[in-house]
Amino acid sequence: MSDDTPGVVTPRRSPVRRLVRAGFLLVALGFGGRAVASQWDAVVAGFARLNPPLLAASLGAVVAALLGAMLTWRTLLADLGSPLPFRPAAKVFFVGQLGKYIPGAVWPMIAQMEMGRDLGVPRSRSAAAFFLMMPVQLASGLLVALGTLGWNRYGWLLLLVPVLLVLLEPKVINGVIGYGLRRLKREPLERPLTRRGMLTALGWAVAGWACYGLHLYFVAPEGGLLFAVGAFALSWCLGILTFVVPAGAGVREVAMVAVLAPVLDSGSAIAVALASRVVIVIGDLICAGLAGIAARRDSV
């Protein structure tokens, strides 16, 4: 990053930190590659039902959805007091997100904390933005699922609405973050989360769910676009509830097969779930690569 970029600290990385980050990337990429290779036969069968234009369109929708997730995180981070330019924010988010393919839930957060520190973002603020992503995505995803899948079959989601409203209330969130920082004997956040920031983040999250649904629609158009949006949102939410499973691997696919049952036979649903998984893995790798290249050019 150039010295004249406003609000961004010039990175000063030690050889040890560069080595640790290189190791992180290699391990994350290895697990991401294994996620594809371990299911290769089923993946080939799933992709056989797609033609190249649909595959490209599905991947494009995934990239747009990932961009929506990045903007959700960037909005939360800015509202907490650390606005980042687009390209550095993209690098921190997308490269850090590769850590979700490593077993354990802490790797994306650690990566974002370390890369954010180079840009002048306090670690506590990076951690707060990371943890806020979960209630925002979970609440918005479940509400999207409720609104698109129909009240008759998924009316039980109404039971979660009071909990979701609490999760989205900034006063409650600020209280939880403050309590956690006190327990960890850390300094409190300089700026609390605002309602405007939360609503903006929710808007980007909903846009992301719409793009994810479009991705699934290109793979399985049988149920229609609204059904695809809700099916993906619900299966993703069930997947992110499993913290110890890399990127919700397996859980999301099982949930997706169940949600797709009304419109697809089990074999086709499994193929769709696996194809969706691989397209998303490829999207993650593309976004991380492009963000890293763009940020590196800025630093030259």
Alpha helices in 38-168 (DSSP H): 40-48, 52-79, 86-97, 107-118, 123-149, 151-154, 161-167
Mean pLDDT to the nearest integer, 121-139: 87
What is the spatial distance between Cα 184 and Cα 182, in angstroms, rounded to a whole number? 5
Confidence of residue 85 (pLDDT cuts 50, 70, 90): very high
Percent of the chain with pLDDT over 90: 27
Question: How much is the pLDDT for 3?
Answer: 38
Rg from Cα positions in the chain: 19
Position 94 scores a pLDDT of 92
Q: For residues 214 and 223, what is the distance between their CA atoms, to the nearest angstrom?
A: 12
SS3 readout for 80-103: CCCCCCHHHHHHHHHHHHHHHHCC
pLDDT, tens only, 11-63: 455 666 666 656 655 665 566 556 556 656 655 665 676 677 888 899 999 99
- At 82 the pLDDT is 92
Per-residue pLDDT tens over the stretch 251-274 = 777 788 888 988 888 777 878 888
Model's pTM, two decimal places?
A: 0.79
- Containing H/E element for 43? helix 40-48
Q: Where are the domains of the chain?
A: 15-299
Alpha-carbon distance of 153 to 40, in angstroms, equals 33
pLDDT at position 221 over 80? yes
Looking at residue 135, its pLDDT comes to 85
- pLDDT greater than 60 at residue 242: no
Give me the sign of the Cα torsion angle 145, 149, 153, 158: positive
Looking at the chain, the number of H-run helices and the number of E-run strands are 13, 0
